[in-house]
Structure 1
Amino acid sequence: MKEKTMVKLPAAGRDISSITEAELADVIRDFDVIKGNIKVYLANKEAIWENHQDCPKKEVEGTDLLAVFRIMLFVKDVGQSSILVRNRTMAMWDIELESLYETALKNTMEQTPARVISLDDMIDYGPEKSKRPEEVSYENGKTYILGNSGTVGGAAAMLYPGVLQTIAENSSSNLFIVPSSINEVLVISDDGKADSQSLQYMLMEANMGMVPRKEVLSDQVYYYDREERRISTATTPEGTREQQLAMDAICQISYP
């Protein structure tokens, strides 16, 4: 189902839930009109298929990720459009990065709330079994999928304040976070059985053969400490290179 957001001009009361291409530039110029349509998405710092040099971005502390911003509009005769916010657009709006981030994050949280489902339930029943993070009964040894109620960009749910802490407290453990795609992340309790290297190998294998290139988020695995309430990278660039070499060697043996 295509997602539509209704925002109206304060004075004229104009509906921009569906606009024409000719109206697009004028609508985007006015931050007060368009601000309800701005959402936050996660991207990798090293992503090569999209240039993040000329756009406002906020580094996600402890990771190799960036929070970037998109304007989501339904354009007549085109459909759902996603427009990356560029520096020139932000300058035109005359706002600071933190203000843009707060606006976009608030929109994303309200319009696409965080949802969690166990991997087993996803396989058996599908996404309709997903729940709010605080509603889930977490079990050690199970893998959970964290996303949001939108169709794309659900990995941004890990940015929602309190979400990772809720999962950690309700599972009584720290968490490994595996960025399986831009649409979702896997959350696994640190019960002493999982380890970052094995999780990274699984992630890299999926990124190489299963996840569409433009949906790959990262080859790194993250760790959430519930006492410190912060996320960090559980793997290293050096370890990633070693994993890559090992995977390349296996491929050469399998396909001489």
Structure 2
Amino acid sequence: MNKNMCESFDYEQFVDYIASHLFDGISQETDAGDVIDIRVVPVIRNNERVTDALRVCVKGSKPYPLIDIDPFYEMYCMGAKMPQVIHELARSYIDSRERQYFLCPDDLMSFDKVKDKIIFRLISRGRNRHVLECCPCRDFLDLSITYRVLTGKSEGGISSVMITKFMMEEWGIDEDILYRLAISNSVRHFPPKVESFGDVVTRLMDSTDDEEDFQWPEGMSDDPGFYVCTNDCGINGAGVICYPGLLEEFGEMIGEDFYILPSSIHEVLFLPAHMGMLPQEVISVVGSANKSVVSREEILSDSVYYFRVKSGKIQKYSGQIAEELLQ
């Protein structure tokens, strides 16, 4: 985002203003008596993208909500007035405080308190090299499985903390234990969801008033034949491809091999092999989307993967597989 778009406030002035006025905004919406400090902090997001966030420090051992600044600066650049921005920031803070928090910061060093909340996230290995040096992880194709503690969940989102090597050592466990717990807990907390693309679009159209304005891309039918795979909340849902048995069950359902396209860290697409797209076309779709549609911090991979039903194995698409498919 261009941080010099706004005529009234540049980015730094905007950040200073919201940091100094958010307390008043919160006070107008709810009791702000437990707020003791509001500060701007850098946050390392996925793919090592560094952003600014507001940390609202509160009394006691309650979690400190972090509020991403970028969406609100974008709102301001699109014409929103500062009172509206402060109001939306305050509502974001209140929503985060109303989230069901399972753990407080002090609980994170107790393995007994976190073991049922250890989950995993699937991320790009190449785009997160520095972060991966500090945390336990496991290779999965050209991706990495990382581990987190789920600290809160609501309809509006989740909150979690990355597990570092230091935390793992303090708990006295190894990566194998983390992996087993993370797989089991993730399946329980975030069940998988596989829908045909047509069903997804129909559901979205049913929830909007713009149905008449929707048009399918040229050449695409209302049932294009591929599937969207994520978890029940649609957040960091690409990791469901690591769930035991999920790929095998889908392959049995459609009765053939299929491509796996990493749409983003939140979801993947399953494309049955019979659909007739050439492998290079499939790869081109992923690369084009990552360059023009998917935000930097939500990119999972530029690769395409292929699942073989007979062997039950997932592979990164390669020239050898291409030759086999074209024979």
Shift of 1:108: 0.6
8 Å Cα contact 2:122/2:236 also seen in 1: yes
8 Å Cα contact 2:225/2:275 also seen in 1: no
Shift of 1:70: 1.2
Residue 176 to residue 120, structure 1, CA distance change in 2 (3 Å): same
Distance in 2 (CA, whole Å) between partners of 1:80 and 1:226 is 34
Which of these residues, 256, 268, 276, is aligned with residue 193 of structure 1?
276
Aligned length: 205
| Residue 165 (structure 1) aligns with | 248
In the TM superposition, 1:1-256 aligns within 5 A as 20-21=62-63, 24-48=104-128, 51-60=131-140, 63-74=141-152, 80-126=158-204, 142-191=225-274, 193-235=276-318
8 Å Cα contact 1:196/1:235 also seen in 2: no
**Deviation string, structure 1 residues 198-252 (Cα, Å, up to 9, x no partner):** 111011111111111101000000001111111101147xx9xxxxxxxxxxxxx
**Deviation string, structure 1 residues 117-166 (Cα, Å, up to 9, x no partner):** 111111121399xxxxxxxxxxx961100111123110011011110001
Distance in 1 (CA, whole Å) between partners of 2:130 and 2:272 is 33
Any gaps of 5 or more consecutive residues in structure 1?
1-18, 129-139, 240-256
- The one-letter code of the counterpart of 1:58 is R
Moved over 6 A (4+): none
Distance in 2 (CA, whole Å) between partners of 1:26 and 1:179 is 36
Q: Which has the higher contact order (CA 8 A, sep 6+)?
A: 1
| Residue 54 (structure 2) aligns with | none
- The one-letter code of the counterpart of 2:225 is K
Distance in 2 (CA, whole Å) between partners of 1:208 and 1:192 is 24
Structure 1 SS opposite 2:132: coil
8 Å Cα contact 1:146/1:187 also seen in 2: yes
Structure 1 SS opposite 2:122: strand
**Deviation string, structure 1 residues 68-92 (Cα, Å, up to 9, x no partner):** 01112139xxx95321111111111
> Please, what TM-score do these two structures have when normalized by structure 1?
0.73
* Identical amino acids, percent of aligned pairs: 27
Distance in 2 (CA, whole Å) between partners of 1:114 and 1:80 is 16
Query: What RMSD in Å do the two structures reach over aligned CA positions?
Result: 2.7
Larger radius of gyration: 2
8 Å Cα contact 1:39/1:108 also seen in 2: yes
